[in-house]
Amino acid sequence: MKNPTAPFRFVRHATLAAAMLALGACATYSPKPLDLAVVGKTSLADLRHDGTLPERLTPDDVVRLVLDNNPDLVAVRAQHGIAEAQLRTAGILPNPVASYSYANLLSGPGEIGTVAASLAMDIKSLVTFIPKRRAAKATAQSSDATVLWQEWQTIGKARLAAIDLIEGDKQLALLRSNATLWQERLQRNQQALKQGDATLATLAPDIAAGSDAQKTLDDFERAQQTRRRDLNLLLGLDPAVKLQLADAATVPAIDTVAVRAQLPDLANRRPDLIALQLGYRAEEEKVWGAVLAQFPLFSLGSTYGRDSSNVRTFGPQLTMDLPVFDRNQGNIAQERATREQLHAEFEARLIAAKSEVEAMLADQALLQKQLETKTAMLAQMEPMAAHVQTAFRQGDIDERSYVDLIASRNAKQQEILALRLVMLEQQVALATLVGSGMPHAEMPGSSNSSTQSSDQAQP
């Protein structure tokens, strides 16, 4: 008589071997606690950079530092790892299913226990494997394009912040000069009032003008301080760090003809539009996968059995559900509706992007015309201002006329500086929209050549 405990030993040994095999392939866990004491860098030297930092940073220097150190970019680049993990998951074939059972013989005519074993594979998961893989790949590429678009936007913010500070310092110096002009005028009038050469009525307009000039200066100083904090935040620096910036900000001129020539191909170069197209490509695969998933659940394998009289059987095993009620019509409808929504969203975004570029080009032309007009007016005022200063020192003109003319000249200079800043800001924004000076972006080729042209397959 055979040993009745032999099947138990077989099961125990097989189970132990399977457990050891599974554990050997398992990942391990290690904690990664959050740093609750993290703060911004306390000096420029603490930032990651390549080479030697100049004493005074240009907008391009700021951009390079921001790309390497911006905390938000560091965080968003982690999305690439998530997308890669999802792509890896989509590329893993489903595991075959094995089953084994043993029933010990307690009583009856037989001599041994019964054994049943089977090994099967889900065929439906193989049918939908390729669309899922392609969808995951397009999603990963879309994630990368989204990260690149955020880099483009961060580059624009950094360049804009540096330009605002550099040009703002010029305006600040002019506002200080204007406030000093009125302050000196007020001091002289107060002295004249003490000597009886002026009245409160003549002093009141100067007090109001001086107060307005000082308020404008105070407001602008606060705005500059906010801009400095914002730039430090982009760089991951502590707010107390004061960056030394260059005296002048230069932005590459916008070639209107070249920009308009690039507009038809904008969708293949701008990362946000590329990301939308790749998202749509992924959804196309999801629609195709949902159509393929109409086919019933189907598993194929083999089965082995032995009864208590030692009769052994072996043969194929087929399991299939009957698609009487659920033919995946709900998922198909949902994926098609999502595809339609993405289609409309892409068209709307593309139209808006091209319209925004055209609007900025028109604004640039208008601003350039206004700047030329104001510059010509200032050129006429400069000789007059120099003549008036000489006449005032020689006592040939009264103080009120002198102050009014110099203040008017200062106001015109302020208008030109403000208009120039608006032009530079729009040039930066336009460069971001069309990709001028930005990291290269290009729509990847479709790996979907074998995808069906129609999603009307039937089970």
String of DSSP letters for 6-65: HHHHHHHHHHHHHHHHHHHT----------TT---BSSGGGS--SSPPPSSB-HHHHHHH
Angle at 249 between CA 247 and CA 254, to 5 degrees: 165
Angle at 129 between CA 124 and CA 130, to 5 degrees: 130
* pLDDT score, position 205: 81
Select from 147, 142, 139, 145 the least CA-distant residue to 72: 147
| Pairwise CA distance, residues 12 & 18, whole Å | 10
Structure tokens belonging to residue 229: 């904090």
| Pairwise CA distance, residues 276 & 349, whole Å | 9
pLDDT at 416 over 90: yes
Beta-bridged to residue 155, according to DSSP, are none
Least confident of 135-144, 161-170, 346-355, 382-391: 382-391
* pLDDT score, position 458: 39
* pLDDT score, position 2: 45
Average pLDDT estimate for 87-113: 82
Average pLDDT estimate for 85-93: 83
* pLDDT score, position 305: 86
Select from 94, 82, 76 the least CA-distant residue to 136: 82
Q: How far is CA 10 from CA 14, 58, 285, 307, in A?
A: 6, 75, 46, 17
Select from 143, 145, 148 the least CA-distant residue to 73: 148
Task: Name the residue with tokens 């530092």.
Answer: 65
| Pairwise CA distance, residues 447 & 138, whole Å | 9
Which listed CATH number (3.40.50.720, 1.20.1600.10, 3.10.180.10, 3.30.70.260) goes with 60-92+128-293+328-434?
A: 1.20.1600.10
pLDDT at 21 over 80: no
SS3 331: helix
